[in-house]
Amino acid sequence: MQSDKIIIIILILGIFSAFTGFELCRKSEKTILNVIEPSIVEVDMNGNKIFDDGETVCVPNVQAFTANIAKNQSDLAKALNISLEDSLKLGYLTDEFAEGILSNKNVKLKFTGEKDQNCKYADIYLYKESYREKLLNSGLGFVNGKPFSDLNFKKKLAKARKYNLVILNHKSNKFHTLDCKYGIIAHDAVIIPKKQIPEDAKPCNFCHIDKKSHKGSVKIERTVPNYPLLISNGSVKMFLTDHTTQLKPDRNCNSPACKEIVNRINSAQNSIDIALYGYDNIQAVTNALNNAKKRGVKVRVVYDISTKSYYPETSYILKLADNISGDSPKFLMHNKFMIFDNKSVITGSMNFSSTGFSGFNTNCIFFINSQQAAEIYTEEFNQMMNGKFSSLKSNNNHRSIMLGKTILTPLFSPKDKIITNNIIPLVETSKKYIYIPAFIITHDGLTNSLIRAKQRGVDVKIILDATNTSGKRNKLKVLRTSGIPVKVENYAGKVHSKSIIIDDKYIIAGSMNFSNSGENKNDENVLIVEDERLARHYKGFFEYLWKKIPDKYLKQGVRAEGKYSIGSCTDGVDNNFDGKIDSEDAGCR
């Protein structure tokens, strides 16, 4: 008996020691926040998940090309006897290599003790493998201007030369060949695949001149045409916004969705109820509301009081309101809908902001001309107007609405348990495809349901916004590991949609992110739209976005504000919410 007790004690101590060792090992690991260049990274040293001063790490005793045209790499190119064009193509390939290996990975650092004003020097280890050695052995790393592996270098150079790349100058909106002197001196430019050239970009007359005809232009074959952003089906209109073509937010109200809202405000006779997360002063919208007030229309506003610092111009719309209600700061009032004369509703994922109204962010918005729909949304609105938010609300007596061939089911968080009780059952019964353009996915139940759908042969594809591909709750790695193709978008604006398209039959869209907070805490609204024509149209838009995002982002992420996120360094927006804009951000320097 005594020997058995000793054995048990030894086992317990062994397990405890192993666990303690594992925890110490885990805590010694640091997370790569961003890959600036193949030998320069930002590392989360203090575990706060943001980049702070002193967290730049450089890999010692290795040279590598990068696709950053602002960096002088002529000496290394000369030592290897290759052209400037070759060096930039190798840089693009090397950047891809480094991103794929390091992006968002947990690593160990072996510091050399050397440091300068820009960075600390350390080798980076992934599962006991030296990143420096991997870079050198790949043929993409060099020491004193010489390849560590001459054979692998020649293979990589041959691969790089097959790339069809151009320099895109965001400021002038012109694209250049890699050896063009005007492209090389551009201060706000990025190297991208030729097929990714924006529709409205123009060729540089100097480097794309047609020498035979001496014409200063070149015909570019577009592989992905612009997609129609508005479709109407009787009493239901669906508006889509395209963040791949609107590379800067503005306040001009030129998007079809913004124009529709202004038209509805101008047509209102009695009442306008507005539930919003926050507001930017879009003059056309503010003027329309002011004119509505003058003709006797009653305006009521429910808003999220926690966004006052982020949306300081919300005060513009509050001044025009006859009645105001704000939620407690505990949870979000995340709705974005308007009700006109108790007869029609506009709802969806679009914030009433410059990034929303301009089409800078990709959103899905519905206009519904239905008194039944208006009554359902008014019931929800009135509860919030009376100070009942989140779990304080009573169940909304929602019901499906038949409008011609379209069936609408309005749902509201948190009482309806939208993901668990409504979305997952549709995913579980899907047969052909599930396409998801989404700002974020962190919900465990939805993630598991999507994996099961993939396993039974359903075509599952997801596009996620670049700002939400890291963090403990994010499901990017889990989804990819399960075999689901997930692309991370690489444009300045957000994929702000919170939507799912299923089997040419269902569209699920609204204000709710696919998260636990979205389902169980925040005030949100979601529409389940059953309509084949609308679903097919939205599927086409998803496929359009999918084609415009390079396939390399099926395997890696992209910095939300940086040289590979098109337009992000000149849009005047803090794309990754780190308090730094454009040239102030390390990714744009």
The residues carrying an active-site annotation are: 496, 498, 503
178 in Cβ contact with 107 (< 8 Å): no
305 in Cβ contact with 329 (< 8 Å): yes
H/E segment holding residue 240: strand 236-240
**What is the torsional sign of CA 188, 193, 198, 203?**
positive
- Alpha-carbon distance of 67 to 301, in angstroms, equals 49
Please name which of 484, 243, 270, 237 lies closest in space to residue 373, comparing C-alpha atoms: 237
DSSP state, residue 426: H
Q: How is 525-570 classified by DSSP, letter by letter?
A: EEEEEE-HHHHHHHHHHHHHHHHHS-GGGGT----SSSTTSBTTTS
542 in Cβ contact with 501 (< 8 Å): yes
| Strand order, beta sheet including 433-438 | 401-403, 406-413, 524-530, 506-510, 499-502, 433-438, 459-464, 486-488
Contacts of 23 (CB under 8 A, 6+ apart): none
Find where tokens 């040419």 sit. 504
H/E segment holding residue 365: strand 364-369
SS3 assignment for 120-163: EEEEEEECCEEHHHHHHHCCCCEECCEECCHHHHHHHHHHHCCC
Please name which of 128, 152, 138 lies closest in space to residue 39, comparing C-alpha atoms: 138
DSSP state, residue 251: S
- Alpha-carbon distance of 115 to 122, in angstroms, equals 9
Single-letter amino acid, residue 315: S
Structure tokens at 58: 């450089």
First to last CA, the chain: 70
Beta strands 344-348 and 364-369, pairing class: antiparallel
